Amino acid sequence: MSKTVNIGIIGTQFMGKAHANAYNQLPRFFDTSANPVLHTACSRNREKANEFSEQFGWSKTETDWRKVVANDEIDLIDICTPNHLHHPIVMEAAKQGKNLLCEKPMALNTREAREMHEAAEAAGIIHMMIFNYRYVPALALAKKMISEGDIGRVYHFNAVYYQDWLTDPEFPYVWRHNVKETGSGAHGDMNAHIVDLARHLIGEFEAVSGVQEVFIKERPTGKGNEKAKVSADDATLFLARFRQGALGTFNATRFANGFKNHLRIEIFGSGGSLLFNLERLNELQYFSAGDNPDKQGFRNILVTDRSHPYLEAWWPPGHILGWEHTFVHQFSELIEGISLKKAVTPNFYDGLKCQEVLDSVVTSAQKEKWIPIGIDD
Amino acid sequence: MSKTVNIGIIGTQFMGKAHANAYNQLPRFFDTSANPVLHTACSRNREKANEFSEQFGWSKTETDWRKVVANDEIDLIDICTPNHLHHPIVMEAAKQGKNLLCEKPMALNTREAREMHEAAEAAGIIHMMIFNYRYVPALALAKKMISEGDIGRVYHFNAVYYQDWLTDPEFPYVWRHNVKETGSGAHGDMNAHIVDLARHLIGEFEAVSGVQEVFIKERPTGKGNEKAKVSADDATLFLARFRQGALGTFNATRFANGFKNHLRIEIFGSGGSLLFNLERLNELQYFSAGDNPDKQGFRNILVTDRSHPYLEAWWPPGHILGWEHTFVHQFSELIEGISLKKAVTPNFYDGLKCQEVLDSVVTSAQKEKWIPIGIDD
Amino acid sequence: MSKTVNIGIIGTQFMGKAHANAYNQLPRFFDTSANPVLHTACSRNREKANEFSEQFGWSKTETDWRKVVANDEIDLIDICTPNHLHHPIVMEAAKQGKNLLCEKPMALNTREAREMHEAAEAAGIIHMMIFNYRYVPALALAKKMISEGDIGRVYHFNAVYYQDWLTDPEFPYVWRHNVKETGSGAHGDMNAHIVDLARHLIGEFEAVSGVQEVFIKERPTGKGNEKAKVSADDATLFLARFRQGALGTFNATRFANGFKNHLRIEIFGSGGSLLFNLERLNELQYFSAGDNPDKQGFRNILVTDRSHPYLEAWWPPGHILGWEHTFVHQFSELIEGISLKKAVTPNFYDGLKCQEVLDSVVTSAQKEKWIPIGIDD
Amino acid sequence: MSKTVNIGIIGTQFMGKAHANAYNQLPRFFDTSANPVLHTACSRNREKANEFSEQFGWSKTETDWRKVVANDEIDLIDICTPNHLHHPIVMEAAKQGKNLLCEKPMALNTREAREMHEAAEAAGIIHMMIFNYRYVPALALAKKMISEGDIGRVYHFNAVYYQDWLTDPEFPYVWRHNVKETGSGAHGDMNAHIVDLARHLIGEFEAVSGVQEVFIKERPTGKGNEKAKVSADDATLFLARFRQGALGTFNATRFANGFKNHLRIEIFGSGGSLLFNLERLNELQYFSAGDNPDKQGFRNILVTDRSHPYLEAWWPPGHILGWEHTFVHQFSELIEGISLKKAVTPNFYDGLKCQEVLDSVVTSAQKEKWIPIGIDD
């Protein structure tokens, strides 16, 4: 395993931390054909960059992302910045022929996303989107079960993503409330995840109809009694039709009091159903219509057996994994892809398709009608 | 308690049975100022009428509902027929000055519902809609808690009603698949309940956007290989805006494999949240944002204490009630209303308002855009 | 159905009410070959007897149980009195040739229980013990599944019965605290149920080792500051060995804060497991070791399908039953047994065997060692 | 943070892996005053030792534990060997003045445990037992809540530890079936955890009464049809009295079909109750008797807030932790203790007290009577 992948990470906040941890954990638990090397960490704030590097073992620090992108030693650019920087960094890094990992949502809009996808394809690099919930073992199992026909033809895909950190009107104004920096609020941050899971699990969207709301119109800035106008959505809900015929409901909100990070999915098919809840991410509920009629019921599968996806790498049955493990799983595929020059998923195409759906929801909310999803593919 | 209310029931199927049971149980457990008397049971099928009368103790039987409505001895007409008969029976019975109890959905459309409401009001009778889930003790407690401000301003009202009896494509064609007899499928049968609960718990709808689907287009009639075209919706989903500012999602389907009669409600407010599930109808989950931050969490309230709504009439704490009890609770208010000539709720106005929402959802699904709810009130 | 069974009930409190309701409901939902007739209700308190009779429709009232037992018109004596009266009433009624229904626990001790059983057998009457939880549909299903081998050889039977109404030290002294009237506290009242269920579901006990405790030694009588010494156990726990080789734990307490009437059973076998909780009595959890290894998990069976035990009599799937229905189910077998002169279970033999276990637990707690269960059968 | 603690680990199986991971993770997430250094890994099997060292980054490998213990550079001996080696290693290492970390159960019997405790104390070293479940955040919160009086006087402490990997009679004979190597089966492996938690959460045991069973007496060795006799217990159950007056039940079994690593605790007190389940280790259920009577219920606390124990080091609310994190938490205290020469808990005294309880249970099972716990402290 002498091969290495030198990583330059841009952004050292919450996501930077999660990624850095995963790079460290990866070779301890997975046998990939190359080793990730924590080469350079970049933050506009020098002090933060240093602290982050020391904490997770990055060899160098930078404060200018352009220098990272330009560094010949670096094989992979990992983008954990605020959303409005995804596009410029990707465009520049693709030009430099860097492999790319990008946090979700991909871009501020579909146009940006399309450019990014085209640039990455043109550059012939390996590109990947972080949609780490595909790598929850229970959802990887769900994917396998759906593919193998365990629930038959899917009729319904319902997903919610509930948080409650904005419920308090006194929660202060932050950059996430400003649509210019963030692209959107709950929608881009949370619906991006469940839109991707829907595409991953049952296929492409056909049309959507949504609604968005800012419940608390102004929030305190912390400067005296000043308040700033909130432009990012507190909640975005939408209905969907899928190409394969299913109906869907999607509901992302930061105003679901009592729920911290509650991503829940229900999939109903002709042969059975699947239920999942991120706050109990080691469990998958499965109803099989083929079970003896008197003894049917949702089975609560504890997805911790060695035979379950990714579990052989970890602990014996019943010893549960946490949220952070999803990144290790995803990175095992990324590093392998880069090492073997083999395309991976979810990639920028998936990011683009997700962005199309998100944008169409916004349009539908503005026009108060159903919007078909781009049919150019 | 020498006072009596003589009842004539029309329809002796599932709902007739539930009502008959409740009339029998009412005086055993509730102290109302009049006694219900099981006077006449009516079914087009004489044999069924006789059997039903013997089973539940009705004094007389009829096969023609007009005779029941015309009978001077009868104080209350209880309508448990297929939906398309609600309107003619109500119109005739109102003319005869009968008090009226009507199963949901009220009518085939808003026009019928409005005529029925006007006729009942003009006749000065007591009229009531069966929306029995208002009388689940846990939901009566939820109503009380919301009224008293326990969850503050409501931001979200999400409801689903899942059944799975149509999942099998071989399930035969029945009258419920024919929109002419039934008015609608899952929509009128199931959304009617959750629309009423939404109005009851948080107030009037402002606008809706929906989608309807028939997943299995044709079903076997049982005559050789003959198949009949299904016109009633298998599933109807919609988004809603409420006048007080909340957003809502509604989802009624008969294709939710594994769910038998799963009505679930989530209500998120500024001060807390409430969760309910009809298959565990003795429980109400409550999150209070006012609890100590380190010790917050959804409380699972077992709604069986004597101090909980309707519970004093029944058993000690922890001895759970069933689905049928909701009718006894509702009838305690109906009989009292008739006895004291005091208007009750939910009444035909509530039936009409529910019908308006249901019809607007259908229109929105057809036009693929948001439809405002009638603002004439 | 011209045949009738004339009932004389002795005791009109909580259990009297539950029984009276069940006699009324029985013919409305079950097709038995005789009809129960509510003939005479007996309470020492004339006013209570009258009120009870009016509420539930008993034809006559008595204040002396001996007159009920002596009444030639009465076919069945239903004993809902405090425990110390079970023995004298049964002995006298058996002498009169009355069929007998007796609430649990059967007697104050094994000697009494044995006399009662012998008297009933000698009299050639139909005798039944109220162990109504055998008639919870989910537990009837569990019985069927165990009998049919669904969980193989049973290794463990663990049961708890938790209540919390005595947790408050200020809860006043009542007759249930006096061992002379009640025989025992939590032990006889609550362990009686789970001991019977254990015998019913997996067979006879071999030996037990228990411990009993009175946590609050004295309680206020309500007369000034007077306190009375509590003699009945607040909690009784024990270990058990079963003849078929399984191990068991049993735990009955009135000091389980937050639990109202929480009877929970876990049964682990070589082929699977079953879990049950009385506060969710419409559900049975089943693990099948035979399921595909990757898709195994506890299934939550909603026991409300027409094919489930007793359910055909009631409502469609998903419409849950309550606690009181268990009596209707048990009485359907009792009335049929009396009508057809056919022995029923659980009967006085079951009451006796249960009493032997309960008494042995008390002895083991006193002697601080294991006690074998009587091997005279 | 230039200070370091050089670690020599003995044993490289499941527990070795868990410890090695925690040493790596510790400095990335916790700010301790010294850094753990992965100095030497020791396994009798050279190949395994090398592989393990490469995987987790140990600098050297050894195959003879005596050399590790004798190495002057090493500050801490971490013992992850089979149980019968705990005593010799500890005795030797204490002589060498090494700080000690020992996996549970501490020893094969109380005599060994006492010698080990005395040796460690005499040597003046820092000694710690691995009882990592004390470091589950939810249980650390439970400890805090009990200490602060949130549930008042404790009446009941009930714990189970269920696994199912021996349910299959064809599961082959392994060293864990041989009482000479393992000391005991389910008892030492699983009851050790819940006995420690009981002591930690509510205090010392007073007396116990237990039962042990080997359900499958012989198992295949894999050599033809040969079978070997199983001497280690498949299940050990016991009752307990605590010095502060509470009663307890304990139940450890490897025959609980469907349960993988299910450690569940119920604690009932005068002011409330707590429930915990290791397979949902991010949750703690709390009933507060002080809540408004109409709104009481078990709260499901998602123990992932920054204010919860150990959580500030990790991720935002709702991003759950896994089983392995408990070791990181425990090691943060161990390394700090060694760095500051400050005694830590749980230490060898806790290991000894746990061993006394375990041994007394075995004695009580043999003598079929209650055994008081050693009162020499």
**Chain D residues in contact with B145 (beta carbon < 8 A):** 295
C152 and C243 fall within a common domain: yes
D231/D217 Cα distance (integer angstroms): 8
Q: Left if phi > 0, otherwise alpha if psi is -120 to 50, otherwise beta: which for A183? A: left
Alpha-carbon distances of A101 from A116, A344, A351, A354, D221, rounded to whole Å: 12, 11, 11, 16, 50
A189 and A335 fall within a common domain: yes
* Predicted confidence band of residue D375 (pLDDT cuts 50, 70, 90): low
Return the number of other C-beta atoms located less than 10 Å from residue C274's C-beta: 29
pLDDT value at C191 more than 80: yes
User: Is A324's Cβ below 8 Å from some Cβ in D?
Assistant: yes
Q: From chain B, pick out residues whose CB is under 8 angstroms from the CB of A249.
A: 237, 249, 251
Report the 10 Å Cβ neighbour count for B121.
Answer: 15
- Residue A101, number of CB atoms within 10 A of its CB: 24
Using an 8 Å CB-CB cutoff, list chain C residues near D287. Answer: 257-258
The span from the CA of B212 to the CA of B234, in Å, is: 8
Domain count, chain A: 2
A205 beta partners? A242
Among the three residues C102, C133, C164, which one is the final residue of a domain in this structure?
C133
D164: its two tokens: 């199912």
Alpha-carbon span C135 to C197, nearest angstrom: 10
Q: What is the pLDDT of residues D190-202, one digit of tens each?
A: 999 999 999 999 9
Return the residue matching tokens 């003319």: B95
Are C296 and C288 contacting, i.e. CB atoms less than 8 angstroms apart? yes
Q: Are residues C46 and C171 in the same domain?
A: no
The domain that holds D272 is classified in CATH as: 3.30.360.10
Q: Which residue of C has its CA nearest to D168?
A: C270
Q: D227 has which bridge partners? A: D220
Same-domain check for residues D195 and D119:
no
* Spatial distance between the Cα atoms of C68 and C235, rounded to a whole number of angstroms: 36
Where would I find the H helices in chain A?
14-29, 46-56, 65-70, 86-95, 110-123, 137-147, 179-182, 186, 192-202, 325-340, 348-367
User: How long is chain B?
Assistant: 377
Q: What is the pLDDT of residues A366-375, one digit of tens each?
A: 999 999 997 5
CB-nearest to A307 from C286, C294, C297 is C294
Chain D environment of B299 (Cβ under 8 Å): 291, 295-299
Tokens representing B174 are: 């029945």
Q: Report the pLDDT averaged over residues A210-222.
A: 95
**What gap in Å lies between CA B127 and CA B102, rounded to an integer?**
8
CA distance D7 to C193: 56
CB of B40 less than 8 A from some CB of C? no
Residue C323 to residue B302, Cβ atoms within 8 A: no
Give the Cα separation of A273 and A146 in Å (integer).
10
pLDDT band at A175 (very low <50, low <70, confident <90, very high): confident
Q: Are A294 and C150 in contact (CB < 8 Å)?
A: no
Containing structural domain, residue A69: 4-133
The per-residue b/e assignment along B137-165, b for 16 or more CB within 10 angstroms, e otherwise, is bbbbbbbebbeeebbbebbbbbbbbbbbe
Does the beta carbon of B106 lie under 8 angstroms from any beta carbon of chain A?
A: no
**Is residue C208 very low, low, confident or very high in pLDDT (cuts 50, 70, 90)?**
very high
Q: How many residues does the structure list for chain A?
A: 377
pLDDT band at C330; cut points 50, 70, 90: very high
How close B7 gets to chain C, by Cα (Å)?
18
Q: Is C279 on the interface with B (CB under 8 A)?
A: yes
Tell me: do B234 and B363 sit in the same domain: yes
**B278: which chain C residues are within 8 Å (Cβ-Cβ)?**
318
Going from the C-alpha of C106 to that of each of B227, C86, C110, C184, the distances in angstroms are 60, 7, 9, 12
Domain boundary among A133, A151, A178: A133
Q: Is C24 exposed, middle or buried (0-12, 13-18, 19+ CB in 10 A)?
A: middle
The answer to whether D316 contacts chain A (CB < 8 Å) is yes
Domain membership flag for residue B374? no
Domain boundary residue, one of C112, C133, C154? C133
Query: In this structure, what are the phi and psi dihedrals at residue B25, rounded to the nearest 5 degrees?
Result: -75, -30
Q: Test B316 with C281 for CB contact under 8 angstroms.
A: no
Q: Which amino acid is at B369?
A: K
Distance from CA of A237 to the nearest CA of B (A): 8
Question: A377 lies in a domain?
Answer: no
Q: Would you mind telling me the total number of residues written for chain D in this entry? A: 377
Distance of alpha carbon A178 from alpha carbon A218, whole angstroms: 11
* CA C234 to mean position of chain CA atoms: 19
- Is D254 in the same domain as D322? yes
- Check CB contact under 8 Å for B213 and A247: yes
Asked if residue D181 has pLDDT above 90, the reply is no
Residue A194 corresponds to which tokens in the numbers above?
A: 């469940």
- What is the tens place of the pLDDT at every residue in B148-168? 999 999 999 999 999 999 998
Is residue C179 pLDDT above 90, yes or no?
A: no
Question: β-strands A205-213, A371-372: how paired?
Answer: antiparallel
In the predicted structure, residue D1 carries a pLDDT above the cut 60: no
Instruction: Name C99's Cβ contacts closer than 8 Å, sequence gap at least 6.
Output: C5, C75, C76, C77, C125, C126, C127, C338
Confidence at residue D183, expressed as pLDDT on a 0 to 100 scale? 82
Mutate to test the interface with A, among D1, D13, D164, D260 (most CBs of A within 10 A): D260
Judged against a pLDDT cut of 80, whether residue C370 lies above it is answered with yes
Rounded CA Rg of chain D: 21
Query: What mean pLDDT do residues A51-73 have?
Result: 97
Question: What are the structure tokens assigned to D145, written together?
Answer: 């809540």
CA distance D271 to chain B (A): 14
Rounded Cα distance between A318 and D323, Å, is 9
CATH code where residue A52 lies: 3.40.50.720
Dump pLDDT digits (tens) for C67-92: 999 999 999 999 999 999 999 999 99
Q: What is the pTM of this model?
A: 0.97
What's the rounded mean pLDDT across residues C252-264? 98
Cα–Cα distance measured from residue A17 to residue A36, given in angstroms and rounded to the nearest whole number: 15
Tell me which chain B residue has its CA closest to the CA of residue A266.
B256
Q: Is residue D374 part of a domain?
A: no
D88: enclosing H helix or E strand: helix D86-95
Task: Quote the pLDDT of residue A375.
Answer: 55
Residue, of C374 and B170, whose pLDDT is higher: B170
Please tell me the number of Cα atoms within 13 Å of A46 on its side-chain side.
Answer: 0
Residue D251: list chain C partners with CB under 8 A: 156, 158, 249
Give a yes or no: residue B376 inside a domain: no
Count of CB atoms situated within 10 Å of the CB of C58: 25
D302 close contact with A: CB closer than 8 A: yes
User: Closest Cα partner for A300 from C296, B113, C30, B1?
Assistant: C296
**Chains in touch with B (≥3 Cβ pairs < 8 A):** A, C, D
User: Average pLDDT for residues C37-64, to the nearest whole number?
Assistant: 97
- Is A273 domain-assigned? yes
Q: Is B294 within 8 Å of D307 when comparing Cβ atoms?
A: yes
Question: What is the Cα Rg of chain B in Å?
Answer: 21
Q: Who among B296, B302, B307 is closest to D299 (CB)?
A: B296
Q: Which residues of C touch B262 (CB under 8 A)?
A: 318
Chains touching C, CB cut-off 8 Å, 3+ pairs: A, B, D
Average pLDDT over residues C6-29: 97
Give backbone dihedrals phi and psi of D191, rounded to 5 degrees, phi first: -60, -30
Residue C169, SS3? coil
Instruction: Decide if D151 touches C, using CB distance below 8 A.
Output: yes
Of C145, C293, C300, the CB nearest to A298: C300
Average pLDDT value for chain C: 96
CA distance B172 to B175: 10
Ranges in chain B, pLDDT < 50: 1, 376-377
Rounded Cα–Cα distance for residues C94 and B358 (Å): 64
Kindly list the distances between the CA atom of residue C40 and the CA atoms of A97, C74, D174, in Å, as whole numbers in the listed order: 94, 8, 68
Q: Are residues C111 and C161 in the same domain?
A: no
Contact D294 B308 (CB under 8 A): yes
Q: How far is CA A36 from CA A30, A31, C117, C184, in A?
A: 11, 12, 78, 69
Tell me whether residues C270 and D256 touch, CB distance under 8 A.
no
Give me the pLDDT at residue B1, please. 45
Q: List beta partners, residue B76.
A: B7, B99
Residue B339 lies in a domain: yes
Q: Which of C24, C319, C328, C329 to mutate to test the interface with B (most CBs of B within 10 A)?
A: C319
CB C35 within 8 A of CB C1: yes
Residues D165 and D81 in one domain: no
Kindly state whether residue A11 falls inside one of the protein's structural domains: yes
- DSSP secondary structure letters along D140-167: HHHHHHHHTTTT-SEEEEEEEEE--TT-
Note the pLDDT tens digit of each residue in D291-328: 999 999 999 999 999 999 999 999 999 999 999 999 99
Shared-domain flag, residues D198 and D228: yes
Residue C30 in this model has a pLDDT that exceeds 90:
yes
Distance, in angstroms, between C203 CA and closest chain A CA? 23
Q: Report yes or no on A326 lying in a domain.
A: yes
For B235, the token pair is 């599933």
The whole-angstrom separation of Cα A220 and Cα A242 is 41
C201 shares its domain with C105: no
**Are residues B147 and B196 located together in one domain of the fold?**
yes
Tell me, yes or no, whether C189 and C246 share the same domain. yes
pLDDT digits 0-9 by tens, C267-308: 999 999 999 999 999 999 999 999 999 999 999 999 999 999
